[in-house]
């Protein structure tokens, strides 16, 4: 197979105000190559790929695809040149079928007859060729996250993409789905497709890529053939220092802070949580581990006050009810880190300082007699930015301009800046780089040491084992009995995640 260069980016520079997002970046891609673009949150990875695809216009520099220069700021020209892009946050219409989503934009207004049958046949050929099985008539809203990922990839391939860009492709996938995705990508590159995937996950970079380009602070700092490097070197190149994750220390937990007793939750007519019981104590982290889609989202909404129990009881700090409102929880020093930072964690059009104080605007630090103290809010946010290393932002920065990881650090910071009584941390490190993960783990352990009770809901087995004092598995809306983290081994937890615990099957 030819190894000709199919893509060249030369001296790409892009500024957003005072922020230098891309600093004279040059890189190339060969046919059949799987290139990893690695870097911290806010390193400029997504900006660079958006320039390649035409969403942004570079201040200077050129993009060549198959030897021809692409006109800047024109995504349609990139698509016609054979470039396809799958964004981190899917751009699919949930009320339409898979086939309708894939056909959007492929037929002109003057076309008197739809080519739906031919499109369906082409889709099925592509799905079979690359092992991306989908039902063309299924509603996108009814698909799993992994299936939506397949649809996005097929949408690019349907438009005859020969270069595929994937922005954080595994950010919302389970480990099993991620492994399947990279198996598919390897088959695609063997067939001649060229792939760039943006990532900060060192394990998948080492497993999947042929070559790695590392960005830091908007510039290329290194390039490595994957076979000639290791995770430790990549982590140091990415962050600029040696990264070590903090270690949980033994400590005696205090009194019960949150109890759930035989709780059911019904949402949209379906039982999402079934006879769930748990207890978390002061100075303790309770880890909830499970494969995506087994009720974690409902558990997070329940404990954050967004839904109530259909039956059973919740007791928080001595008060028993079937539902606590978000206002009550926030007033009672509860930190809530939601699963979806974009739709539940922040308002993108509001500034960083507005989001930082939004839930606690009545606090005397931020307002007096109903009048907002803007200087106090901005000072609090400036401290938060420094402590939690929110990159490329000031108090006045619109939150939508932050990278996903930096937005997550802002949300974490506003909840942990003052020691909370209870923390509901739902996927707290999803989308974060190695350095940021270490920092988040350190902050959670510091809150634990200060006496906070923490419910850690995560799909990352290593994270749960490293941080939690006790672990419960969630399967089809049911929770296992807790086990001590020190007694946990991967095989036992794997069985628990499959619904097998104490010799019984949970299903």
Average pLDDT over residues 443-472: 92
The band of 506, judged by pLDDT with boundaries at 50, 70 and 90, is very low
Alpha helices in 139-230 (DSSP H): 145-158, 175-190, 202-208
For residue 248, the 8-state DSSP code is P
- Alpha-carbon distances of 1 from 175, 189, 463, 482, rounded to whole Å: 31, 10, 41, 54
Average pLDDT over residues 57-66: 95
Residue ranges with strand state E in 355-486: 367-368, 371-372, 422-426, 453-458, 470-475, 478-479, 483-484
The band of 159, judged by pLDDT with boundaries at 50, 70 and 90, is confident
Torsion of the alpha carbons at 352, 358, 363 and 365, rounded to the nearest 10: 10
For residue 350, the 8-state DSSP code is S
Considering only the C-alpha atoms of the chain, give the largest distance between any 2 of them, rounded to a whole number of Å: 73
Residue ranges with strand state E in 401-469: 422-426, 453-458
pLDDT of 1 > 80? The answer is no
Dist CA 185 CA 169 (whole Å): 11
Which of 22-26, 381-385, 497-501 is predicted with the least confidence, judged by mean pLDDT? 497-501
Q: Are strands 422-426 and 453-458 parallel, antiparallel or unpaired?
A: parallel
Average pLDDT over residues 182-198: 89
pLDDT of 2 > 60? The answer is no
CB atoms within 10 A of CB 295: 23
The segment with the largest mean pLDDT, out of 167-181, 205-219, 235-249, is: 205-219
For residue 286, the 8-state DSSP code is E
- Burial of 375 per CB tally in 10 Å (0-12, 13-18, 19+): exposed
Q: Which of 449, 465, 412, 432 is nearest to 168 (CA)?
A: 432
Dist CA 354 CA 346 (whole Å): 10
Percent of the chain with pLDDT over 90: 47
Dist CA 340 CA 427 (whole Å): 9
303 SS3 class:
helix
**Entry pTM:** 0.73
Dist CA 497 CA 464 (whole Å): 13
CB 213 within 8 A of CB 38: yes
pLDDT of 111 > 70? The answer is no
38 SS3 class:
strand
pLDDT of 185 > 90? The answer is no
Alpha helices in 164-281 (DSSP H): 175-190, 202-208, 231-239
Whether 5-239 shares its CATH topology with 246-333+419-507 is answered yes
To the nearest 5 percent, what fractions of the chain are helix, strand and coil? 35, 30, 35
Q: Which of 223, 221, 220 is nearest to 25 (CA)?
A: 220
Dist CA 507 CA 476 (whole Å): 7
Give tens-digit pLDDT for 271-282: 999 999 999 999
> Whose structure tokens read 């950010």?
171
Its sign, for the CA torsion 235, 438, 351, 199, is: positive
Give tens-digit pLDDT for 20-36: 999 999 999 999 999 99
> 128 CB contacts (<8 Å, ≥6 apart)?
none
- For residue 472, the cross-strand partners are 288
Buried b (16+ CB within 10 A) or exposed e, 343-358: ebbbeeeebbbbbbbe
Return the pLDDT at 112.
57
Q: What CATH number is given for 5-239 in this structure?
A: 3.40.50.300
For residue 349, the 8-state DSSP code is T
CB 201 within 8 A of CB 232: no
Return the pLDDT at 303.
94
Q: Length of the chain in residues, anyone?
A: 507
The domain made up of 246-333+419-507 has a fold known as Rossmann fold (3.40.50)
Q: Are strands 478-479 and 334-337 parallel, antiparallel or unpaired?
A: unpaired
Dist CA 328 CA 243 (whole Å): 38
Give tens-digit pLDDT for 406-453: 888 889 889 988 889 999 999 888 777 777 888 889 989 999 999 999
Give tens-digit pLDDT for 234-255: 988 988 887 778 889 999 999 9
Return the pLDDT at 113.
63
Give tens-digit pLDDT for 351-370: 999 999 988 888 888 998 88
Average pLDDT over residues 182-206: 88
Return the higher-pLDDT residue of 8 and 175.
8
What is the rounded radius of gyration, in angstroms, for the C-alpha atoms of the chain? Answer: 24
Give tens-digit pLDDT for 300-316: 999 999 999 999 999 99
> Whose structure tokens read 């809010």?
377
Return the pLDDT at 430.
77
Per-domain residue ranges of the chain = 5-239, 246-333+419-507, 345-417
Average pLDDT over residues 57-61: 95
pLDDT of 209 > 90? The answer is yes
Percent of the chain with pLDDT over 70: 95
Average pLDDT over residues 51-71: 94
Return the pLDDT at 293.
76
Which of 49-63, 128-142, 152-166 is predicted with the least confidence, judged by mean pLDDT? 128-142
Q: Are strands 311-316 and 256-267 parallel, antiparallel or unpaired?
A: antiparallel
């Amino acid at each position: 197979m030819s190894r000709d260069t199919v893509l060249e980016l030369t001296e790409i520079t892009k500024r957003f105000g005072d922020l230098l997002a891309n600093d004279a970046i040059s890189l190339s891609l060969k046919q059949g190559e799987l290139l990893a673009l690695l870097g911290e949150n806010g390193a400029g990875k997504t900006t660079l790929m958006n320039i390649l695809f035409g969403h942004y216009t570079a201040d200077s520099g050129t993009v060549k695809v198959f030897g021809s220069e692409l006109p800047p700021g024109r995504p349609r020209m990139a698509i016609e040149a054979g470039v396809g892009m799958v964004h981190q946050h899917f751009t699919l219409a949930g009320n339409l079928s898979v086939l309708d989503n894939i056909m959007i934009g492929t037929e002109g207004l003057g076309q008197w007859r739809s080519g739906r049958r031919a499109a369906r046949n082409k889709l099925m050929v592509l799905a079979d060729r690359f092992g991306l099985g989908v039902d063309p008539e299924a509603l996108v809203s009814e698909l799993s996250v992994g299936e939506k990922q397949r649809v996005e990839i097929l949408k690019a391939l349907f438009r005859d993409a020969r270069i595929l860009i994937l922005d954080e492709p595994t950010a919302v996938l389970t480990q099993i789905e991620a492994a399947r995705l990279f198996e598919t990508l390897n088959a695609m590159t063997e067939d001649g497709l060229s792939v760039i995937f943006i990532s900060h996950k060192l394990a998948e970079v080492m497993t999947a890529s042929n070559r790695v380009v590392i960005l830091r602070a908007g510039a290329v700092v290194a390039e490595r053939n994957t076979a000639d490097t290791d995770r430790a070197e990549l982590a140091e190149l990415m962050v600029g220092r040696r990264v070590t994750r903090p270690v949980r220390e033994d400590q005696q937990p205090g009194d019960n802070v949150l109890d759930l007793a035989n709780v059911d939750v019904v949402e949209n007519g379906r039982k999402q949580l079934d006879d769930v019981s748990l207890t978390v104590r002061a100075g303790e982290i309770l880890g909830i581990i499970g494969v995506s889609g087994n009720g974690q989202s409902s558990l997070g909404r329940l404990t954050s006050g967004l839904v109530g129990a259909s039956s059973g009881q919740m007791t928080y700090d001595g008060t028993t009810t079937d539902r606590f409102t978000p206002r009550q929880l926030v007033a009672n020093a509860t930190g809530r880190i939601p699963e979806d930072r974009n739709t539940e964690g922040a308002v993108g059009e509001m500034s960083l300082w507005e989001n930082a104080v939004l839930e606690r605007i009545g606090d005397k630090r931020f307002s007096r007699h109903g009048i907002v103290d803007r200087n106090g809010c901005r000072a609090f946010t400036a401290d938060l930015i420094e402590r939690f290393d929110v990159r490329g932002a000031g108090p006045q920065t619109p939150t939508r301009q932050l990278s996903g990881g930096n937005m997550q650090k802002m949300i974490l910071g506003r909840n942990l800046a003052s020691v909370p009584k209870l923390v509901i941390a739902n996927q707290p490190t999803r989308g974060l780089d190695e350095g940021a993960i270490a920092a988040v783990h350190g902050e959670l352990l510091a809150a634990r040491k200060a006496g906070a009770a923490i419910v850690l809901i995560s799909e990352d087995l290593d994270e749960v084992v490293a941080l939690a004092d006790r672990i419960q598995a969630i399967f089809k809306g049911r929770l296992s009995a807790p086990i001590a983290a020190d007694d946990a081994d991967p095989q036992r937890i794997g069985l628990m995640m499959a619904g097998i615990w104490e010799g019984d099957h949970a299903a």
